Chains A and B, each alone.
Chain A
Amino acid sequence: MSAQTNPSTAAATVVADQRIENAKPSTWRRVRRNPSVLFGGTVLLIMALIAIFAPFLGTRSPTDIAPVARNKVPGFERTVTGPDGKEQTLVYRFGSDSLGRDVYSRTIYGARVSIIVGITVAFLSVTIGLFIGLISGYFRWLDPIIMRIMDGLMAIPAILLAIALVSLFRAGLGAVIVAITLPEIPRVVRLVRSVVLSVREEPYVEAAVTVGTPTPTLIWRHILPNTIAPLIVQGTFICASAILVEAILSFLGIGIPPETPTWGNIMAEGRNVFRLYSHSILYPGIFLALTVLAVNILGDGLRDTLDPKMAKRV
């Protein structure tokens, strides 16, 4: 039986192999067909396209100030004579701020910072957290030390920790990204560690250890793949909260410098005149809320399809 293969068994093996092959795209199909993923993904894609093509969406320079056009309501029009002597009408679709900058242009350009911060923070915290979590889960003697440090970091409320870190650096995109990433890392570490701890007891891992698989290969081939689905889900939620925290830092005036167009900065600028003109808070607020909502809904959809165990818990 072992020397000569029975044709029907061989055929069965082929069929079984195909089934396994088919199992992979079916997860992907389930993800693609999930309405939450579809809605969240589409809105996020549109925001990303807005961020990339900001200069071509009827915008002007988001930092140009115009003293004659201060605090104008949405729809205000102004005729200017260009350097070539031709007359040109400037429309302020979302109104102007108290320096006469075009709120529409600033809002469109503001998508750039939010998308960059969201994606970078999610990527960095997941990568760093994965690395630390694998070490913590796999090397027992390091685990208590690492987890005490993570507990300590988690004892400082996230926004407060970000605010404290921002106060240490000169304000800028890099500082804001570092300040938002650090508080997110312990949550990723805990997640990865719990996956590692449950997987390492599985028979196939024990079997791999028995046949003498070197530790790096073991982690890479047998443990790492189990962390991917929960990490994609977690990364999405981190992206949403990073976009929010960046806006909060900008709004409080301690994030990215105020001349840079970010949604938080536009709203911070609009605070002083809010009683009379609400557009500087309203429009960027809608963009911000819609983006974060889309990312959160995308995360919910991914959780339901990729990580059913986690979906049941929450």
Chain B
Amino acid sequence: MASFIFKRLLATIPVMLFVAVFVFLMLRMTPYDPAAIIAGDNANADQVAAIRKSLGLDQPILSQFFIWMGQILQGNFGESFFFKKTVTSLIADRIGPTLSLATVTMLLSISVAVPLGVLAAYRQGTWIDRVVMGFSVMGFSVPVFVIGYILIYLFAINVSWLPVQGYRPLSAGFGEWIRHLILPACTLSVIYIALIARMTRASMLEVLSEDYVRTARAKGQTEWKVLFRHALRNAAVPIVTVIGIGIALLIGGVVVTESVYSIAGLGRLTVDAVLARDYPTIQAVILLFSFVYVVINLLVDLTYSLLDPRIRY
């Protein structure tokens, strides 16, 4: 087990290194002078020269990369010329709403999708199954922002039960916090629910035809226990895997959802940074999101042997 963890950790190093090289080269691939881009449109020649020197742009590209990597490993992502502060403090300001939204969405998605998937597999071929699968195809097809505006129209404009837009931090009280998160989380969870429910159904279908499920039924276990204790546990590995892979969808969805609901989180920051061509911020956000994605999938891999003791490394 320890050697597996070690190997798996080692395997993430080339992946993150590739991401770092890609993000580093991003600025260099533009036909413009990176120092001039970072300095912004209003900078004079002296400022550009100062930035060029501080970034080491007068040195060979390989040492530029190591200077840049060294700074990032110390948590220094540079200065945002658009927001006029360090990228690190900018991210610290914006991470709260995004974490709240992502956490509520994940809890909501998993608690809805897994039972739906189990039910669809249990009642395979019936109308319940068809409704769940139909919802799943719809979830993949209707864009996040269309779902967002439909929900806003129904629940915030038509009958003003919930706020149209905005975000309140948890420090403003749990009620206010969750009231502002219900619509965004429902919007964002649709595609995630579609993905998880589909995989839960497929995985459960495979397990439900196993001998031990028949044995459990034969010894008189209740259907509830057969489904959730015997079958779901054995079907868990692919479901957890798809939850991990789905984080990529979730991150993409966060960018759109935060724009629809005017939430000042990392997703909104990404779009603002692209619109302003604020490259230090774009680079930091991509590195951060990719890092989170890779780490979560690493953790997912490590849970396999917990979920299924038959898996040995």
Contacts and interface: CB of A to CB of B under 8 A. Distances in A.
Interface in B260-313: 270-271, 273-275, 277, 279, 282, 285-286, 289-290, 293-294
A247 B145 CA distance: 10
A248 B29 CA distance: 24
B271 A163 contact: yes
Contacts of B290: 155-157, 160
A208 interface: no
By DSSP majority rule, is chain A's interface helix, strand, loop, or mixed? helix
A107 interface: no
Interface string B16-36: 111100110010011000000
B143 A252 contact: no
B126 to A, nearest CB: 18
A84 B70 CA distance: 71
Contacts of B18: 148-149, 151-153, 155
Interface string A274-314: 11001001000100110011001100100000000000011
Nearest to A278: B153
16 contacts: A151-B14, A151-B15, A152-B22, A153-B18, A155-B16, A156-B286, A156-B293, A157-B290, A160-B286, A161-B286, A164-B274, A254-B271, A254-B274, A275-B164, A288-B143, A313-B202
Nearest to B248: A157
A47 B296 CA distance: 40
B137 interface: yes
- Interface size range on B against A: 35 or more
Contacts of A160: 251-252, 255, 270, 285-286, 289-290
Contacts, number: 132
Contact of A252 (B26, B152, B256, B279): B256
Nearest to A267: B145
A297 B137 contact: yes
Given A167-B282, A168-B29, A296-B137, A155 B202 contact: no
A112 B150 CA distance: 25
Q: Which A-B residue pairs are the 7 nearest by beta carbons?
A: A152-B18, A159-B252, A293-B141, A157-B248, A285-B146, A292-B141, A157-B251
A157 B102 CA distance: 15
A158 interface: yes
Nearest to A162: B252
A288 B150 CA distance: 14
A156 B19 contact: yes
Contacts of A157: 247-249, 251-252, 289-290, 293
A155 B293 CA distance: 7
Contacts of B251: 157, 159-160
A274 to B, nearest CB: 6
Contacts of B198: 314
